[in-house]
Structure 1
Amino acid sequence: MDALAGLLDGPRARGAFLMRSVFDPPWSVRIQDHAPLTLVTMLRGTAWVVPDQGAPVPLRPGDVSIIRGPEPYTIADDPATAPRAVIHPGEHSTTPTGDELCQVMDLGIRTWGERADGMAVLLSGTYQLEGEVSQRLLRVLPHLLVLPAGALDSPLIPLLSDEMTKDEPGQDVVLDRLLDLLLIAVLRAWFSRPEAATPAWYRAHGDPVVGRALRLLHDHPAKPWTVAALAAGTGTSRAVLARRFTELVGEPPMAYLTNWRLALAADLLREPDATVGAVARQVGYSSSFALSAAFKRVRGLSPTEHRQAVGSPDLTPVG
Structure 2
Amino acid sequence: MRVYAAAMDPLTGLLEGPRARGALMIRACFDPPWCVRVEDRAPLTVMLMVRGEAWISPDTGERLRLTAGDLAIARGPAPYTCGDDPATEPRAVILPGGECTYPDGRPLNGSMDLGVRTWGDRPDGSAVLLIGTYLWPGEVGGRLLDALPPLLSLPSDVWRCPLTPYLTDEIVRDEPGQPVVLDRLLDLLVIAALRTWFARPEAAAPAWYRALGDPVVGRALRLLHDDPAHPWTVASLAAKAGVSRAALARRFGELVGEPPMTYLTGLRLALAADRLRDTDDTLDAIARRVGYGSAFALSGAFKRVYGVSPQEHRGRAA
TM-score normalized with structure 1 length = 0.83
Match of 1:288 among 272, 287, 295: 295
Match of 1:45 among 40, 52, 56: 52
Alignment check: 8 A CA contact 2:18 2:191 kept: no
How far, CA to CA, are the matches of 1:290 and 1:205 in structure 2? 30
Pairwise CA distance, 1:276: 5.0
Residue 153 of structure 2 is matched in structure 1 by 146
Alignment of 1:151-190 (within 5 A): 151-190=158-197
Alignment check: 8 A CA contact 1:271 1:312 kept: no
**Higher relative contact order structure (alpha carbons within 8 Å, sequence separation ≥ 6):** 2
Match of 1:15 among 8, 17, 22: 22
How far, CA to CA, are the matches of 1:300 and 1:155 in structure 2? 37
How far, CA to CA, are the matches of 1:186 and 1:257 in structure 2? 27
Q: What SS does the aligned partner of 1:42 have?
A: strand
Residue 25 of structure 1 is matched in structure 2 by 32
How far, CA to CA, are the matches of 2:198 and 2:211 in structure 1? 12
Residue 299 of structure 1 is matched in structure 2 by 305
How far, CA to CA, are the matches of 1:129 and 1:233 in structure 2? 39
The aligned amino acid for 2:227 is: H
How far, CA to CA, are the matches of 2:260 and 2:13 in structure 1? 16
TM-score normalized with structure 2 length = 0.83
Residue 130 of structure 2 is matched in structure 1 by 123
- In the alignment of these two chains, the number of paired residues is 308
| CA RMSD, Structure 1 to Structure 2 (Å) | 3.0
Q: Does 1:199 align with 2:206?
A: yes
Residue 112 of structure 2 is matched in structure 1 by 105
CA separation of 1:176 and 1:213: change in aligned 2, threshold 3 A: farther
Residue 254 of structure 1 is matched in structure 2 by 261
Q: Which stretch of structure 1 is more off in the superposition, 132-141 or 73-82? A: 132-141
Alignment check: 8 A CA contact 1:30 1:86 kept: yes
The aligned amino acid for 1:40 is: M
How far, CA to CA, are the matches of 1:78 and 1:47 in structure 2? 7
Pairwise CA distance, 1:250: 3.1
Alignment check: 8 A CA contact 1:92 1:102 kept: no
CA separation of 1:259 and 1:61: change in aligned 2, threshold 3 A: same
Q: Note the residue ranges of structure 2 that are not aligned, 5 or more in a row.
A: 1-7
Pairwise CA distance, 1:22: 0.3
CA separation of 1:286 and 1:98: change in aligned 2, threshold 3 A: same
* 1:149-187 Cα distance to aligned partner (Å, 9 max, x none): 111122122221122122233322222222222212221
Residue 5 of structure 2 is matched in structure 1 by none
CA separation of 1:300 and 1:154: change in aligned 2, threshold 3 A: closer
How far, CA to CA, are the matches of 2:93 and 2:107 in structure 1? 10
Alignment check: 8 A CA contact 1:132 1:264 kept: no
How far, CA to CA, are the matches of 2:156 and 2:42 in structure 1? 24
How far, CA to CA, are the matches of 1:228 and 1:121 in structure 2? 56
